[in-house]
Amino acid sequence: MVVFECVACGAALTVPLTQVDGPDHEVVHQWGNGIRYMPSLVPAGTYAGRDRIVIAPGDVRGVSWIEDRLVGYCCGIDGHEGPNLACACGRPVATRVDDCSLWQVVRFEPDAVRPIGVPDPVREWESFDWDTTPLTDADEWWQARAEISAAVAIIRVLTAAGGAPVTVPDGPLADTFRREFDAQRLSGPALSLGLAGPGTTEEADILLVPRHPQTGDAWPAQGSVVPISAELWVWLARTDEQPVRPRTGGQWAPHLSDDPLPRRPRTVEPCLWAVRRWLP
């Protein structure tokens, strides 16, 4: 594990943390329209970082508010005025976001922190569960994450296709992607889309492969690959019914009327707002 410390004074600014793949759902800053409190962008005890290190708000240490930047709309802080957390040495180091409809996060400024300690060993691909889509009340946000990941996948597949039409086989790939690919109304020789990853190797022009849940590295495969989130990949690749894990109360939102419970989430509707935002 590593602790992130202030580059200016060396103070520890986090608890010990483990790396996870950078979440796709970060690209959709706002989910829904107010009222609803969102979960943390990354799980407690973890960090991820592309341009900036992000952690769960509860994992930050040794900081204080920058009081003239605690702005939001109704339920919390949206962070739009820049860093609102300062190290004890006075340096602004991070922005906390916790307003409703926003993924809760502490996002460190670039170059404000550095990792200290020994990173966890990189786990073998086989050590992760590549067969089960979690269906638990404790993870009611799976659907939102998957829908955003599907939108990100659409953008990346269309980019990889370079203007060619994309065809998909029937099943979860078609249910998730075909409508949006067909809506592009592209002409010319089509490229096929398939899946490759742990236990799965399909023949296709473009392969959706999982990202390593810890490092974000793409599953090694030959040819044109589009790395996607591991949890979306598992849902696309494993169509068998899956065990329903014990629930702790309530009902999983997309299936409020289902009895008995579904054995896997039936559909993933790509977050079209995200698709429209990034498509030319």
CB of residue 66 vs Zn ion: minimum separation in angstroms?
Answer: 13
CB contact at 8 A, 156 and 248 = no
Closest CB 46 distance from Zn ion, rounded Å: 23
Q: Which pair of tokens denotes residue 61? A: 């240490």
Pick out residues in 62-91 that bind Zn ion (CB under 5 A): 87, 89, 91
Rg (CA), the chain: 20
Of 251, 43, 254, 1, the C-alpha closest to 147 is 254
Min dist CB 56 to Zn ion, Å, is 21
Q: Of 32 and 90, which has the nearer Cβ to Zn ion?
A: 90
Size of the site for Zn ion (CB under 5 A): 7
Closer CB to Zn ion, residue 11 or residue 27?
11
Residues 4-63 that bind Zn ion (CB under 5 A): 6, 8-9, 11
Nearer to Zn ion, 17 or 228 (CB): 17
Which of 5/180 has CB closer to Zn ion? Answer: 5
Torsion angles phi and psi, residue 132, rounded to 5: -120, 125
Closer residue to Zn ion, CB minimum distance, 94 or 160: 94
Query: What sign has the CA pseudo-torsion 80, 82, 84, 85?
Result: positive
Binders of Zn ion in range 211-230 (CB under 5 A) = none
- Among candidates 100, 112, 151, 105, which has minimal Cα distance to 9? 112
DSSP string, 181-200: HHHT---SS-EEEEEEETTE
Q: Which stretches of the chain bind Zn ion, using CB under 5 A?
A: 6, 8-9, 11, 87, 89, 91
